Structure 1
């Protein structure tokens, strides 16, 4: 395939905004990777760009979770609501007696 054909194909690969919004893991700060898996078929996957490969698995999971939360807060800020007094009491009851290092 020629360089110009590759550039043209790259420009044609564009998903509608609704596709990105329905899949918040594909937000701008994540690396999106396209892998050709068969003629005419491509697998699109995402990897958090903030994950440090030298960190242990637990940190990578936490960073991925925090990136997901950030994406959700960016996409749907109207869903962020203050915690109620009743919720605070329920949380306190759940963690009563738990010791923290």
Structure 2
């Protein structure tokens, strides 16, 4: 997974300008996609485009090798502190799974 950083702030999305210094130059590095469940919510009544997969979990994952978080979807039940890994990218969405 690519991480973009400037002024000690890391993100999975490349920004146009750094919120700290205003520069448009970012360091790019590759990090592991593994992480820990930081927060989650279970969606029971989904928007029409996701109704066929409800219920599902929307999860905020704290990445292990970066000071960044990624919003993901996880099909199985999770709890805060669970270890997770990227399973696949589907329609530009990160789909993670719990690590046994």
TM-score norm. by structure 2 comes to 0.23
Greater strand share, structure number: 2
Greater helix share, structure number: 1
TM-score norm. by structure 1 comes to 0.23
